[in-house]
Amino acid sequence: MIEKADLVVIGSGPGGYVAAIRAAQLGKKVAIVEAKEIGGVCLNVGCIPSKALISVGHRYQESINSNFMGIDNLETKLNFEQFQKWKNKTVINTLTSGVEMLLKKNGVTIIRGHAKFESKNKLKIIKRNNETLYITFNSAIIATGSRPIEIPGFEFSKRILDSTGALNLSELPTSISIIGAGYIGCELASAYANLGVEVTLIESLNRILSNFEEDISNIVEKSLIDKGVKIITSATAKHTKENEEMVQTVINTAEGEVLNIADYLIVTVGRKPNTDTLNLGKIGVDLDEKGFIIVNSKYQSSLSHVYAIGDVIHGLALAHKATYDAKVAAEVITGKDVVRDYRCIPSICFTDPEISMVGVNQKEAKEKNLKVETSEFPIQANGRAITLNETSGFVRLVYLQDSKELVGAQIVGVNASEIIGELTMAIENYLTIEDISLIIHGHPTLSETIMDAAELGKGLPIHL
């Protein structure tokens, strides 16, 4: 059985499904191939379910710790099984079925199965019922995403889990240990600690969240410790042993070996691209030594009609970056004269408090020979933050010394994930701190911290 398409998209995550819809909107006959579930990792086992877990952790903490507001709590109980049902049915299924509907309404043909390249213009697809389908195409977009890295000796099992397994536990554990204190590890540590789980966080570097500036990661570290999380830095997991009820891990630390025992061990040490099963070598698509597809500014691989986006190419492994890639690649395929322009991509970590950053920080500015200044406004001076009882953190603006143009920003504090959007737009539009200070911000809102930070940079602070 052979089908034909102008464009075939492999993978239906936030890169793949967006590329398929945009190309269809622009007149192409599009097919999309998905081996697992529509929506990919992000909607099914990543971004969305992890935020659901974080959300229930916040609600639980608010319920048991709101006496200061005059709210008496007789008893708060967590039904973890009910949470999982809500997460899977109301949250995930709503979004994945919505994406499937959007694909169909835009005329995209959905094919469920594993795809590999048979030739430069043909895919072989093993469907879920084991039937074989061939599809020929003029262009292809590879959007197969990435998967967690396994550490030798710590292969995933019943008690040793990746982030997917950590989000799909059938019952709330009493204790977990996490190897890797990057954004995934710290988000899981924060969420489970909020639910009363005993958490140990193991990191090989000398601090957590090394991708963020140290004064930012220090605030999150203090919050985690306050929640009871045990943080072990400059440490490596040596070996592990598991049984039906627990997992034992021997950890090398500066003070010697430590034996850690927990219900589960979660490994979050990074991800690798899903490019090894596509038969790319057969058709001449070039990969680097880590398996990433090499592309140009139009997302074209070494085969000009085969494109790649998202986690399978170099760059930040972020869903919103994959979505951006998708739109540009789809427009290139439909004949538009466009190229990618990563002027700034926001990065967000949903810890307590949240972290977000965009553009360059002070260190990066120095490396780029940019002369910059900074202004930093404390969240505790914001009226809305006080009413939310969430006052830790700050907003930092990084701007050029001569023109005062904003080139970077870092936020640690409540709703940092939402506030960063304004600063992303400011950098994209080359705004100065003068421009930002003149924007009328609603009151009382957390976004006023941006205006206050800009005024501080001008030397005319009102609220500090």
**Looking at 58, 314, 441, 443, which residue is catalytic?**
443
Q: What is the DSSP string of 153-185?
A: T----SSEE-HHHHH--SS--SEEEEE--SHHH
Q: Give SS3 for 243.
A: coil
Q: How far apart are CA 377 and CA 28, in angstroms?
A: 49
CB neighbours of residue 206 within 10 Å: 11
Would you give the DSSP letter of residue 361?
Answer: -
Given a contact cutoff of 8 angstroms between Cβ atoms, the answer to whether 272 and 298 are in contact is no
Q: How far apart are CA 392 and CA 208, in angstroms?
A: 18
Task: Give the largest CA-CA distance in the chain.
Answer: 71
Following CA atoms 203, 255, 242, 48 in sequence, which dihedral angle do they give, to the nearest 10 degrees?
-20
**CA-based end-to-end distance of the chain:** 70
Q: What is the DSSP string of 286-355?
A: -B-TTSPBP--TT-B-SSTTEEE-GGGSSS---HHHHHHHHHHHHHHHTT-------S---EEE-SSS-E
Query: Nearest to residue 417, comparing CAs of 322, 330, 351?
Result: 351
441: annotated active-site residue: no
**Cis upstream peptide for 353 (omega within 30°):** yes
Active-site amino acid positions: 443
